[in-house]
Amino acid sequence: MTIEVEGGQMRLDISQIYYIESQRHNILFHTEKGDFLTAGPMKKVEALLKDKGFSKCHNAYLIHLMHVTGIVQNNVLLSDSTTLPVSRAKKKVFLEALTDYIGGVHR
Protein backbone atom coordinates (compact mmCIF):
# COMPACT_ATOMS: atom_id res chain seq x y z
CA MET A 1 0.00 0.00 0.00
CA THR A 2 1.15 3.54 -0.65
CA ILE A 3 0.75 6.34 1.89
CA GLU A 4 1.37 10.09 1.72
CA VAL A 5 4.13 11.19 4.07
CA GLU A 6 5.91 14.50 4.51
CA GLY A 7 8.01 14.97 1.42
CA GLY A 8 6.22 12.49 -0.84
CA GLN A 9 4.85 8.98 -0.93
CA MET A 10 5.99 5.79 0.75
CA ARG A 11 5.21 2.21 -0.13
CA LEU A 12 4.46 -0.04 2.85
CA ASP A 13 4.42 -3.83 2.77
CA ILE A 14 1.16 -4.72 4.53
CA SER A 15 2.78 -7.73 6.24
CA GLN A 16 5.23 -5.36 7.97
CA ILE A 17 2.52 -3.23 9.61
CA TYR A 18 2.09 -4.06 13.32
CA TYR A 19 -0.76 -1.66 13.95
CA ILE A 20 -2.18 1.68 12.90
CA GLU A 21 -2.98 4.42 15.38
CA SER A 22 -5.45 7.25 14.95
CA GLN A 23 -4.16 10.56 16.32
CA ARG A 24 -6.77 13.28 15.86
CA HIS A 25 -6.70 13.96 12.09
CA ASN A 26 -3.55 11.92 11.49
CA ILE A 27 -2.78 8.23 11.17
CA LEU A 28 0.43 6.70 12.53
CA PHE A 29 1.59 3.45 10.92
CA HIS A 30 3.74 1.35 13.28
CA THR A 31 5.83 -0.97 11.10
CA GLU A 32 8.92 -3.16 11.12
CA LYS A 33 10.78 -0.29 9.41
CA GLY A 34 9.65 2.40 11.84
CA ASP A 35 6.71 4.73 12.39
CA PHE A 36 5.18 6.78 9.58
CA LEU A 37 2.68 9.63 9.96
CA THR A 38 0.11 10.55 7.34
CA ALA A 39 -2.98 12.75 7.31
CA GLY A 40 -6.48 11.42 6.89
CA PRO A 41 -9.31 9.55 8.54
CA MET A 42 -8.91 6.08 10.06
CA LYS A 43 -12.10 4.97 8.27
CA LYS A 44 -10.34 5.27 4.92
CA VAL A 45 -7.50 2.99 6.05
CA GLU A 46 -9.98 0.56 7.65
CA ALA A 47 -11.83 0.25 4.35
CA LEU A 48 -8.59 -0.51 2.49
CA LEU A 49 -7.45 -3.15 5.00
CA LYS A 50 -10.71 -4.74 6.17
CA ASP A 51 -10.10 -7.95 4.22
CA LYS A 52 -6.36 -8.04 4.86
CA GLY A 53 -6.30 -9.40 8.42
CA PHE A 54 -6.79 -6.17 10.37
CA SER A 55 -9.25 -5.53 13.19
CA LYS A 56 -9.93 -2.70 15.64
CA CYS A 57 -9.33 -3.47 19.32
CA HIS A 58 -10.07 0.13 20.29
CA ASN A 59 -11.30 3.26 18.50
CA ALA A 60 -7.69 4.44 18.21
CA TYR A 61 -6.04 1.17 17.08
CA LEU A 62 -6.33 -1.02 13.99
CA ILE A 63 -4.22 -4.14 14.57
CA HIS A 64 -2.71 -6.52 12.04
CA LEU A 65 -3.86 -9.86 13.45
CA MET A 66 -0.79 -11.73 12.15
CA HIS A 67 1.29 -9.83 14.73
CA VAL A 68 -0.87 -10.72 17.75
CA THR A 69 1.02 -12.96 20.17
CA GLY A 70 -1.49 -13.01 23.01
CA ILE A 71 -4.35 -11.51 24.95
CA VAL A 72 -3.89 -10.74 28.65
CA GLN A 73 -6.96 -9.44 30.46
CA ASN A 74 -8.05 -6.42 28.41
CA ASN A 75 -4.80 -6.00 26.49
CA VAL A 76 -3.47 -7.38 23.23
CA LEU A 77 0.22 -8.26 22.93
CA LEU A 78 2.02 -7.80 19.62
CA SER A 79 5.16 -9.38 18.17
CA ASP A 80 7.09 -6.10 18.58
CA SER A 81 6.42 -6.22 22.38
CA THR A 82 3.74 -3.52 22.18
CA THR A 83 0.75 -3.86 24.52
CA LEU A 84 -2.48 -2.15 23.45
CA PRO A 85 -5.83 -1.89 25.24
CA VAL A 86 -8.90 -3.78 24.07
CA SER A 87 -11.98 -1.65 24.72
CA ARG A 88 -15.13 -3.23 26.12
CA ALA A 89 -17.06 -1.98 23.10
CA LYS A 90 -14.67 -3.63 20.61
CA LYS A 91 -13.72 -6.76 22.59
CA LYS A 92 -16.31 -9.23 21.25
CA VAL A 93 -15.86 -8.31 17.58
CA PHE A 94 -12.06 -8.15 17.94
CA LEU A 95 -11.84 -11.59 19.58
CA GLU A 96 -14.13 -13.07 16.92
CA ALA A 97 -11.95 -11.58 14.17
CA LEU A 98 -8.81 -12.95 15.85
CA THR A 99 -10.36 -16.41 16.23
CA ASP A 100 -11.45 -16.41 12.57
CA TYR A 101 -8.00 -15.23 11.48
CA ILE A 102 -6.19 -17.91 13.48
CA GLY A 103 -8.60 -20.55 12.17
CA GLY A 104 -7.93 -19.45 8.60
CA VAL A 105 -4.15 -19.43 9.06
CA HIS A 106 -4.03 -22.95 10.48
CA ARG A 107 -6.36 -24.65 7.97
Has residue 107 got a pLDDT over 50? no
Q: What is the pLDDT of residue 105?
A: 64
Percentages (nearest 5) of helix, strand, coil residues in the chain: 30, 45, 25
Q: What is the pTM of this model?
A: 0.90
What does the alpha-carbon distance between residue 25 and residue 32 come to, in Å, rounded to a whole number?
Answer: 23
Q: What is the pLDDT of residue 8?
A: 81
Average pLDDT over residues 46-62: 94
Domain made up of 2-105: CATH architecture = Beta Barrel (2.40)
Which position has the higher pLDDT, 6 or 79?
A: 79
Domain boundaries, the chain: 2-105
Distances (CA, A) of 39 to 42, 45, 49: 9, 11, 17
Residues facing 4 on adjacent strands: 9
